Structure 1
Amino acid sequence: MTAVPLPPLPQGRLPRRVPVRQVLCLLPLLLVAVVAVRHRATLAEGFGQLRTAEWPWLAAAAGATCLTWVAASFTRQGAVVERLPRLRLLATQFAAGAANHLLPTGLGAGAVNLRFMSVCGVPLARSSAALALYLLAECVGRLVLLAALLIAFPGALHLGTLVPQDALLPLGAAVAALAVTAALVLACVRRLRTAARGFLRTALGEARSVHARPARALALWGGSLAFPALQASGLVLVGQALDLPVAPAHIAVAYLAATVAVALVPTPGGLGSVEAALVVALVAAGGPAAVATAVVLAYRILTVWLPLLPGAVTLGALVRLKVI
């Protein structure tokens, strides 16, 4: 018996699979559009304030903002023993700034830098330890700079206006409760306690290795001091551009105090919370409320909104080029 050949099955067109990396390239731009629409009133008012400002001061503030990415690059390099590619590291910090304004504070930049170090061959445990060391150095640098300015200019800020006395006790109680809860969780969950102990051991080893190299230690701590100093300088320069009647040192103190306070609020890039805290801090430093609001809006436009779109484009390009 001869077999009768079956007719070929009709071949339909297979659905084309959309590459995940291509979607990730476009996602930052979509998030920028969403955030811009949500804050369109703030954007319109902020650009209006920029039109009335003195442009030489604004140009200097823009230069200080650009130098913050250089300072962040130095601090990131100082937190890890391996030599990272300089240009890619700088581009990553620019892109991480955009990611940080689109996701809850610290998460965007942390994820971008973890991926970058992983691509550069740094193991995940050590790159996580380097990220923790960077965050610690940045926090210490900001607090040291704030303390030094408060010692040099003790009357720069009226803390009673910035932090009401009746809010100190609830804030302290909340911090203490959080610390006790974390300690209890670590004490009760063995697997979590083991993981935390291992991470702490890796982090301490990474910190010792970094500080055994003077160049790395200098980059780590020099960058962590330069980063908040440049940010505060940007606000001082915008204040000069809009004739804010507050001494430059007092503006710097107000900026550092506000950013330390707002670090506890997990909003994307501090959008909303930073503006409110900066206005309150500048008023506490002696500035008129209307001018302080104009300065803060112009400062945030210059340092957040104008770099946001090119930063998102850079982020997408780095994802497409497999740098991150």
Structure 2
Amino acid sequence: MTAVHLPDVSTRPPRSPRGRLPRRVPVRKILCLVPLVLVTAVAVQHRAVLAEGFGQLRRAEWPWLLAAVGATCLTWVAAAVTRQGAVVERLPGRRLLATQFAAGAANHLLPTGLGASAVNLRFMTVCGVPLARSSAALALYLLAESVARVGLLAGLLLAFPGALRFGALLPDGATGPLLLAVAGVVVVAAVMLLRVRRLRTAALSFLRTALGEARAVHTRPARALALWGGAFAFPALQATVLVLVGQALGLSVPPAHLAVAYLAATVAVALVPTPGGLGSVEAALVVALVAAGGPAAVATAVVLAFRIITVWLPLLPGALTLGALVRLKVI
């Protein structure tokens, strides 16, 4: 007799009561909900700041606030222009702009710079830019933005040398330990590169790719103009938002001094790896505005209103946009 082989039912997936196999929940649907969960958690954690900030907005002059909202919207355009300037390929304009809006929300939910970098890196790879060149373009963007921010600060300090009292920004005796910490990080990184061959090889390969990408971008005048024009426009627009909010709340500090205070505070906060600078930006800005000559109470109100406009109002729409882009496989 021929042996009959029965199927091994123990290896089959469990069936539902109606005899159908259970459906798997797509990973992308779960990822779409992650930004909303994070927004809710961050909002609950900072609910006192939100309540105080919206309270300050109620007593402000609305024409100045509307201008501040408009300048905030232009920062996403500047970011999109800079991102396009950092890569040779032509990126789809509307999706690039939507990605910058979503990246802003991601940047406030993850440690500084990581959220926006991850979103833009994924966007460029989906657009067909190889991962190595996408990473090089990302590094070029960050370098251009850092150079532009520090360059604007240096230029304003040369034009207005008395705009900020830096002695008030750092506690007594803090400069030495800060320089030692920076030097220690540089030394450790150098030792690791010299001793670990794989790390050294990867770093040299990335450096060659990054230099090649930068050279290719700067051979095209339109790309170079977009890169550096957007890089300078982005912090300038952010400083403009603070100036407009200061006018709305009657802060008695000259606009140029406000811009210096903003740039100095954000350069300092870049060293603090908190999600979007939440908490650290507020503290640094208040100290900088007081060092620029503003009353502490009004400076605190201006900073809270500034962060409401630039962070909290776009946060939920940005998170929804991020979820939609994930669902549509744009990123």
- Structure 1: give runs of 5+ residues left out of the alignment: none
Alignment of 1:119-134 (within 5 A): 119-134=126-141
Alignment of 1:131-142 (within 5 A): 131-142=138-149
Alpha-carbon contact 2:71-2:240 (below 8 Å) kept: yes
Report what 2:205 is aligned to: 198
Specify which of 163, 168, 172 is matched with residue 161 of structure 1. 168
Cα distance between partner residues in 2 of 1:172 and 1:223: 31
Q: How many residues align?
A: 324
* TM-score when normalising by structure 2: 0.95
Cα distance between partner residues in 2 of 1:221 and 1:311: 25
Cα distance between partner residues in 1 of 2:214 and 2:172: 38
Report what 1:152 is aligned to: 159
Specify which of 102, 120, 127 is matched with residue 95 of structure 1. 102
Report what 1:115 is aligned to: 122
1:272 aligns with 2:275: no
What is the DSSP-based 3-state SS (H/G/I as helix, E as strand, rest coil) of the residue aligned with 2:174?
A: helix
The list of structure 1 runs, each at least 4 consecutive aligned residues, that deviate by more than 6 angstroms after superposition, is 1-11
Once the two structures are superposed, what CA deviation does each residue of 1:167-204 show, in whole Å capped at 9, x if it has no partner?
A: 11111111111100100011110000000000000000
Cα distance between partner residues in 2 of 1:2 and 1:155: 99
Specify which of 19, 28, 34 is matched with residue 35 of structure 2. 28
1:171 aligns with 2:174: no
1:296 aligns with 2:303: yes
Offset at 1:68? 0.2
**Identical residues among aligned pairs (%):** 81
- Residue 2 and residue 260 in structure 1: after superposition, are their counterparts in 2 closer, same or farther (change >3 A)? closer
Once the two structures are superposed, what CA deviation does each residue of 1:11-43 show, in whole Å capped at 9, x if it has no partner?
A: 732332110000011110010000000000000
Specify which of 52, 57, 60 is matched with residue 53 of structure 1. 60
What is the DSSP-based 3-state SS (H/G/I as helix, E as strand, rest coil) of the residue aligned with 1:166?
A: coil
* TM-score when normalising by structure 1: 0.97
Offset at 1:5? 11
Specify which of 162, 176, 189 is matched with residue 182 of structure 1. 189
1:63 aligns with 2:70: yes
Cα distance between partner residues in 2 of 1:117 and 1:4: 55
Cα distance between partner residues in 2 of 1:7 and 1:92: 50
Offset at 1:60? 0.3
Once the two structures are superposed, what CA deviation does each residue of 1:132-183 show, in whole Å capped at 9, x if it has no partner?
A: 0000000000001001100110000001111235111111111111100100
Offset at 1:3? 8.6
Offset at 1:89? 0.2
